Amino acid sequence: MTSDLLKKIDDAINFIKTKTSIVPEVGIILGTGLGSLANEITSNVVLNYKDIPHFPLSTVESHQGKLHFGKLSEKNVIVMQGRFHFYEGYSMQQITFPVRVMKKMGVKTLIISNAAGGVNPSYKKGDIMIIKDHINLLGDNPLIGQNEDELGPRFPDMSEPYSQNLIKLSEEIASQKKIKTQTGVFTAMSGPTLETRAEYKFLQKIGTDAVGMSTIPEVIVAVHMSLQVLGFSIITDECDPEKLQVLNLEDVINVATKTEPSLREIIKGVISQL
């Protein structure tokens, strides 16, 4: 018997196939202020999320809600320009649905990015952090509920959610291109409130280098389906509990937009070597 989730994935793919015949190998999810990588995709077919069956709609203004198909660094890619967040009220299953669709279309590697606060005191605004591990403090998990054995195991292993090979490759490419990177642990909180000073102190103590409100649900579902994952955080603000400044969303987007060309170079370099 086909489950509801498997049927929904097929509905979305059947619609997409009426618009493009591309078989994507790499999936990319672009975070806040990072959408312009989509402009470099060639032979581009663009679909609006609102037209794709079972895709939720993005409610955040800084996210565009477009799915791009085409070539980047000679590889077939599917790129989400705009993602869904838990704080928008979507369920974890809705947030991660596009990753399910990517896998079923042929994607083997997921590259995911976000804008994040720098909790590690040595991190500076505009740094790029390669994610080496994560701490899920969202208070939910997209795999809660009946397991879809056809998609992945009941208890997915999390000893290497982010591919060590891709981390190493990213570090090498960044160093060749003289782009400074950090490599650290990303923690997700539900938001939409920013963290209190006490929460930043707690995050530092538990080993967080960067904090944000996204990414982990998609990564969990990608790992569930055995995709290899590479994640990046752009540090858009410094979260020192002793010198905390009021966060300005415009500032976050400006820092992300300014840093995006460097991240784009790393991502293109990685894709060319997959």
Residue 102 phi/psi, 5° resolution? -55, -50
Three-point CA angle 88, 225, 227, nearest 5°: 95
Nearer to ligand HPA, 92 or 210 (CB): 210
Strand partners, 107: none
- Judged by CB under 6 A, does residue 72 bind ligand HPA? no
Interface with ligand HPA (CB under 6 A), residue from 109, 236, 257, 259: 236
| 203-232 positions binding ligand HPA, by CB under 6 A | 211-213
Contact partners, residue 238, CB within 8 Å, separation at least 6: 117, 118, 123, 124, 125, 245
CA separation (Å) from 71 to 24, 51, 82, 93? 9, 22, 19, 28
Token pair of 257 as six digits: 């937009």
Instruction: Please state whether beta strands 109-118 and 228-238 pair in parallel, antiparallel, or not at all (unpaired).
Output: parallel
Measured between alpha carbons, how far is 1 from 177 in angstroms, rounded to an integer?
51
- Judged by CB under 6 A, does residue 128 bind ligand HPA? no
Nearer to ligand HPA, 15 or 87 (CB): 87
**Tokens 């596009």 map to which residue?**
98
CB of 69 to ligand HPA, least distance (A): 28
Interface with ligand HPA (CB under 6 A), residue from 117, 184, 231, 269: 117
- Judged by CB under 6 A, does residue 263 bind ligand HPA? no
CB of 143 to ligand HPA, least distance (A): 23
Measure the CA dihedral 140/142/148/149, to 10°.
-90
Nearer to ligand HPA, 49 or 186 (CB): 186
- Judged by CB under 6 A, does residue 194 bind ligand HPA? yes
Nearer to ligand HPA, 16 or 209 (CB): 209
Interface with ligand HPA (CB under 6 A), residue from 88, 133, 237, 260: 237
- Judged by CB under 6 A, does residue 129 bind ligand HPA? no
Interface with ligand HPA (CB under 6 A), residue from 116, 131, 138, 219: 116
CB of 234 to ligand HPA, least distance (A): 9
CB of 206 to ligand HPA, least distance (A): 15
Nearer to ligand HPA, 13 or 253 (CB): 253
Neighbours of 159 (CB within 10 A): 5
Measure the CA dihedral 213/214/217/222, to 10°.
-160
Measured between alpha carbons, how far is 227 from 152 in angstroms, rounded to an integer?
11
- Judged by CB under 6 A, does residue 239 bind ligand HPA? yes
Binding site for ligand HPA (CB under 6 A): 115-117, 191, 194-195, 211-213, 236-237, 239, 247, 252
